[in-house]
Amino acid sequence: MKKMNQNYLSMFCAFVLTIGVLTVSWRCDTACGGDIKSVNVHETTPTRALMQIISSHTSKILDAILVGDFHAVIDETNKVTQISNNITNMFFPEGGDGREFKVEGSKEAKKVSKKEFEKYVKLVTDASEKIAESSKNENIVEAYNNFDDMLRKACFACHTATRIEWPEFMKAAGG
């Protein structure tokens, strides 16, 4: 009798486990964004997370520049360069020619070509290298100017190109 109860309990546990695995794998595609084909709304987790990572590193670069910590500037610019080298693959995973982006709350999306996006990624990478080089030379003014150029010519310009609704204060700031 005890052996039979153990068998029933084992079969019940296997059934529950199987149902759990099937449920998770069935919903995994939706949870990972598999149902989103071309529009990447900035309220989605992957885009927002990536932008927060980049923002974190650029903030650390500015903080390090302001206190004259050249070693930290170099470390953080290297991280931005690494992220920039991978960002195109994240936004265009299947090598498509274009992708639509839209900002949280917007009704419209804006199509951006992979080539245009790569242009901005190259600007970020080049600017990061310039910031690192000026930090190696311990030139704080040049490091800051290169940082400012990166924000204006790469970050703000990319966001202007990929977003329909860009806040007025950013347009006034050169973005």
13 & 75 share domain: no
Rounded distance between C-alpha atoms, residue 139 and residue 162, angstroms: 33
4 & 62 share domain: no
Give me the number of domains the chain comprises.
Answer: 2
Rounded distance between C-alpha atoms, residue 19 and residue 83, angstroms: 39
94 & 168 share domain: yes
Place of tokens 């006034």: 172
Residue 144 has what pLDDT? 95
Q: Phi and psi of 174, rounded to 5°?
A: 100, 5
63 & 13 share domain: no
81 & 25 share domain: no
85 & 120 share domain: yes
- What digits encode the pLDDT tens for the residues 5-30? 777 677 766 766 666 655 655 544 44
Q: Domain range spanning residue 29?
A: 1-35
21 & 90 share domain: no
Residues of the chain with pLDDT under 50: 27-43
- What digits encode the pLDDT tens for the residues 55-80? 899 999 999 999 999 999 999 999 99
Q: Are 111 and 99 in contact (CB under 8 A)?
A: yes
99 & 30 share domain: no
Residue 170 has what pLDDT? 60
130 & 46 share domain: yes
Place of tokens 């709350």: 105
4 & 47 share domain: no
Residue 16 has what pLDDT? 66
Burial of 171: CB neighbours in 10 Å, binned 0-12, 13-18, 19+: exposed
